[in-house]
Amino acid sequence: MHPSGPAPAVEALDLRKAFERIHAVDGVDLDLRPGRIYGLLGPNGSGKTTLIRLLAGLSKATSGEARILGTRMPSRPMLGRIGYMPQSEALYPDLSVAENLGFFAALQGARTRAAIDRVLELVELSDRKGSPVLELSGGMRRRLSLACTLVHEPPIIFLDEPTVGVDPALRVQFWAHFRRLAAAGATILVASHVMDEADRCDELLFIRAGKVIAEGTGAELRAKAKTDNLETAFLQFAGLDAEGRPVDGSPAQ
């Protein structure tokens, strides 16, 4: 992708993960550079979450390797430089907003009040500091979850469907913030199955059945597929027709 430029922040070399007979990640190569937002797009069950877990060192690859800032994963010291937002809520419902955030901040080694206040400001939860998570709406929980991911200002950020349940106005703010983080040098990988978020990314990775089927900027992929619609482009790269059925005899997944 980048013959020159800064050293890769996130790398995957023929990364594979098999669960019994299912190849969830099936030979993925990646080379993600600092300062950019990458969109990982694919349908449910295509391997997005498994790929992110491998990259974040939460799961051990069956073969191949993942590297963060040049260090082979899983590596515990590297975890402090990663921000990972899981797809599930992953918050303590009995604890308050501030207590949840304080807990994850302490584990990450970022225990300054300023860092906590700053990130609460960002997700607009400053006035709900004392509320137990139990009382928050789904969207507020997503915001708190994002705050827990970013509180230690990690240079590598993995976001698994970060904007699910977030209203459009806040979604715009989320993306504006992702952009600021990238401008400050962070490497961001956002998994999504919503194609309309794709254009906010610098580069896209289409993933299907554990394989990267296409990669490039939105414009490049559109040009290659000769369509203006990314969804149509995805179907075309996946070898499916406009109604999602396989064309030219390639197997349905």
Partner 1 sequence: MSARRVLAVARRIAEGFRRDHRSLALLFIAPLFVTALLGWVLRGSVAGTIDLVVAGAPAALVDALESAAADPDLDVEVRIEAIDDADGARGAVRDGDADVALIVAGSGANVGLTIVTQGADPTTEGGQLGVVQALISGAAGALLPIPGARLPEISRETIYLSPDADQLDALAPVFLGIFAYFFVFILTGISFLRERVGGTLERLLATPVTRAEIVLGYSIGFSFFAAIQVVVLTLFILARVEVPALGPIPAFTIGLDVQTAGSPAIAFIVALLMAIGAVNLGIFLSTYARTELQIVQFIPLVILPQALLGGVFWPVERLPDVLQAIAHVLPVTYAVDALREVMIKGADFGSSVVQLDLAVLAGIAILFVVLGAGTIKREVA
**92 part of the interface to partner 1, by CB under 8 A:** yes
**89 part of the interface to partner 1, by CB under 8 A:** yes
Q: What values do phi and psi take at 234, rounded to 5?
A: -60, -45
Q: Which residue among 56, 116, 140, 233 contacts partner 1 (CB under 8 A)?
A: 56
Q: Which residue among 12, 91, 122, 214 contacts partner 1 (CB under 8 A)?
A: 91
**170 part of the interface to partner 1, by CB under 8 A:** no
**60 part of the interface to partner 1, by CB under 8 A:** yes
Task: Please report, as residue ranges, which positions from 134 to 153 form the binding site for partner 1 (by CB under 8 A).
Answer: 148
Which is it for the CA torsion 124, 55, 201, 231, positive or negative?
negative
**191 part of the interface to partner 1, by CB under 8 A:** no
Q: What values do phi and psi take at 222, rounded to 5?
A: -65, -45
**Candidates 63-71, 75-83, 190-198, 220-228; binding stretch for partner 1 (CB under 8 A):** 75-83
- C-alpha separations of 34 from 62, 69, 88, 154 in Å: 27, 10, 26, 12
> What are the CB-based long-range contacts (under 8 Å, 24+) for 192-199?
192/39, 192/40, 192/41, 192/161, 192/163, 193/41, 193/42, 193/43, 193/44, 193/48, 193/161, 194/163, 195/41, 195/230, 195/231, 195/234, 197/39, 197/163, 198/39, 198/41, 198/230, 199/230
Cβ 155 to partner 1 shortest distance, Å: 14
Between 90 and 213, whose beta carbon lies closer to partner 1? 90
Cβ 176 to partner 1 shortest distance, Å: 25
CB count in 10 Å sphere of residue 126? 14
203, 218, 226, 170: which is closest to 31 by C-alpha? 203
Which string of x and - marks every residue 100-129 that binds partner 1 (by CB under 8 A)?
A: ----x--xxx--------------------
Cβ 164 to partner 1 shortest distance, Å: 14
**Candidates 27-35, 77-85, 124-132, 201-209; binding stretch for partner 1 (CB under 8 A):** 77-85
- C-alpha separations of 48 from 41, 87, 208, 239 in Å: 8, 11, 9, 19
**Candidates 4-12, 53-61, 135-143, 232-240; binding stretch for partner 1 (CB under 8 A):** 53-61
Q: Which residue among 14, 65, 70, 88 contacts partner 1 (CB under 8 A)?
A: 88
Under the rule (CB under 8 A), what is the footprint of partner 1? 56-60, 74, 76-77, 79-80, 82, 84, 86, 88-93, 104, 107-109, 148
